[in-house]
A and B are shown apart, each in its own frame.
Chain A
Amino acid sequence: MRGHLHIIGVGSPFGDDRLGWVAVETLQGSAALAALGGGSLSFSILDRPGTLLLAHWHDADNVLVVDAVRSGAPPGTCHRLEPGELSAFESISSHGFGLASALELARALNDLPPHLVIYGIEIDPSGAGCSLSEPVRRSLPWLIQEIEREARVFAPPGVH
């Protein structure tokens, strides 16, 4: 659908892996996004969808995926990635079909949305429990602002 933006938070209940969930929950309450009009926006919060991520585009032309990132950068580092920037070198197993593999599969099936961007924050791999680490929590407002800014480009007010 032209002008429709779908925002997907990917994660799990554990530590910084919650990032995608927390970010999308925050965006669901965002006044800036509400101003774009409810008809042009939708959200999904997914627990490690693996290959089934593809089923969640909902035919949207514009998709933002928010996920925790581990690249070796310092915890709290913010990332904005195009699909081609994700490393395809990712082991595939029945249990560990990650975001990069899912996007590669979508590309092979010609199912990638025309506009897809991945936002993430470098996590603290030593983090435990059910809450975000301090470096990730500090970077979250920046991530939200960046997504709100990009959402206005993807789904400008009045375009439904």
Chain B
Amino acid sequence: MAERRDISIQVPVLARVEGQGALELRIHNGVIEDLKLRIFEPPRMFEKLLEGRDYSEVPDIVARICGICPAAYQMSAVQAIEALFGVEPGPSVRAMRRVLYCGEWIQSHSLHIHMLAAPDFLGHAGVVQMARDHAAEVRRGLRLQALGNDIIRLFGGRSVHPVGVRVGGFHGAPAAVDVRSLREQLRAALPEAEALVCWTASLDLPESGQEFTSVALRHPEEYPMNRGRVVSDGMLDISIDQFETHFTEQQVPHSTALHCLLDGRPYLVGPLARLNLNRDRLPAPVRAVLDGTGMRFPCHNMNYSIVARAVEIYFAVHEALRLLEAYRGLESPFVDVQPRAGTGFGCTEAPRGTLWHRYDVARDGGIVRARIVPPTSQNQARIEADLRQALQAFGLEHEDAVLRQRGEMVIRNYDPCISCATHFINLRVRRS
């Protein structure tokens, strides 16, 4: 019989998680009495920094919010401002923005799968230890990550904080010779990405089942990336400008990041939520590989997030190749825009999940007010709910170090980016 004691565990630094945070756990009579994902990453004030800036500066400023998903911030921002100004940059610009987004998904997901998540499922302390036993897989991951960076560099000028995106389109069109070279790289990566899906599905992923609501964009034809309605596996099906009527952010004393709730309840965004809601939007070859693994979606086991990320890498390689094979140059890399006063909304799917922006703009194009709801703030309440259930099911009688490792693993499934959200991890457990 499990020992029933009063325990308090504190993990003061969370490993393989981005940002400054901690996990506090208080256990009384073998039951979790209190659990807090404490985030003390200082607020970064990006929304305030944007006030008074010209609309044209927004894409480069918001790219600085995150070093891993800068293009996502740019995509939500330009979508919002272009919608307000009544600008349509045209199908070829839209297609190339989708390619840029594919690059970001490939590099971000590959990094998370190999450097952060896979060691959990292979019993290694980290990627360095894992690389000794799984060198071929780690090398493959590095190649995919580099491919993602190359795509971002093609459209963004550079892979860190890209600068190629502007309101109305891109600053310049990529050269045909560079696009040809990238197409060759993408063709070579297709079998690698397919093998990655099979490898992640073959991992010994712990069984877990929890009730939660998945939220993601959904588009009539496409696997969602930079266009669609916000939907859930419940009743939600809204346009992006209705976001604020259902999603509310609230302060909690233990976090500098806001908790975002859907009609007052926690929910999930990110690769698993996207796949749960959009499996039927995957191209047939990608769906066939996923079905071949024997895994069934929708899925409520967060440990399967690693498979969802691999599927999205395979999809993104496939999609970028499809779009670049149709590339005939950009007639004009951008269209001129005329500022207009009002409010614009943007919502796209960042690697970590739905990223919603709202900009109130003055007649001269100055930003009056900005609101940015990043994926990690949306997942925070869900992470806490998951931790409560997962650790209770795992067994609170385990030693602190084991509980801490399991807690970090639960958190890592969400690939939280605390720097983006603070607007992370140390474990502190109190057993009393």
Contact = CB atoms under 8 A, between A and B. Distances in A.
B108 interface: yes
A24 B116 CA distance: 32
A133 B160 CA distance: 24
B158 A47 contact: yes
Interface size class of A (residues with CB under 8 A): 20 to 34
A108 B111 contact: no
Contacts of B160: 12, 47-48
Nearest to B161: A47
B138 to A, nearest CB: 6
Interface string B406-423: 000000000101010000
A124 B91 CA distance: 48
B139 interface: yes
B146 A52 contact: yes
A108 B126 CA distance: 11
A31 interface: no
List of 3 A-B pairs having minimum Cβ-Cβ separation, nearest first = A108-B131, A93-B18, A104-B128
Interface string B110-149: 0110011000000000111101100100110010011001
B18 A95 contact: yes
Interface stretch (B9-17, B250-258, B318-326, B395-403): B9-17
A51 to B, nearest CB: 6
B197 interface: no
Nearest to A103: B128
Contact of B115 (A12, A91, A97, A109): A97
Interface in A97-146: 97, 101, 104-105, 107-110
Contacts of A55: 142, 146
B18 A96 contact: yes
A92 B417 contact: no
A83 B17 CA distance: 25
Contacts of B317: none
Contact of A91 (B13, B108, B128, B146): B13
A54 interface: yes
B307 interface: no
A101 B127 CA distance: 9
Contacts of B112: 94
A127 B18 CA distance: 24
B68 interface: yes
Contacts of A93: 16-19, 116
Interface of A: 12, 47-48, 50-52, 54-55, 88, 91-97, 101, 104-105, 107-110
A51 B145 contact: yes
A48 B68 CA distance: 11
Given A47-B158, A52-B145, A104-B128, A95 B68 contact: yes
A140 B156 CA distance: 32
Nearest to B415: A94
Contacts of B146: 52, 55
Contacts of A101: 128
A108 B17 contact: no
B43 interface: no
Given A12-B160, A93-B116, 14 more contacts: A47-B158, A47-B160, A52-B142, A54-B142, A55-B146, A92-B16, A93-B18, A94-B116, A97-B115, A105-B128, A105-B131, A108-B132, A109-B138, A110-B135
B68 A92 contact: no
Nearest to A111: B139
11 contacts: A92-B15, A92-B115, A93-B19, A94-B68, A95-B66, A95-B419, A101-B128, A105-B127, A105-B138, A108-B128, A109-B131
A110 B115 CA distance: 17
A51 B115 contact: yes
Interface string B251-280: 000000000000000000000000000000
B67 interface: yes
Instruction: Tell which of B15, B108, B127, B158 has the most Cβ of chain A within 10 Å.
Output: B127
Contacts of A95: 18, 66-68, 417, 419
A113 B415 CA distance: 32
A50 B116 CA distance: 13
A95 B132 CA distance: 23
Contacts of A109: 131, 135, 138-139
A88 B129 CA distance: 12
A58 to B, nearest CB: 13
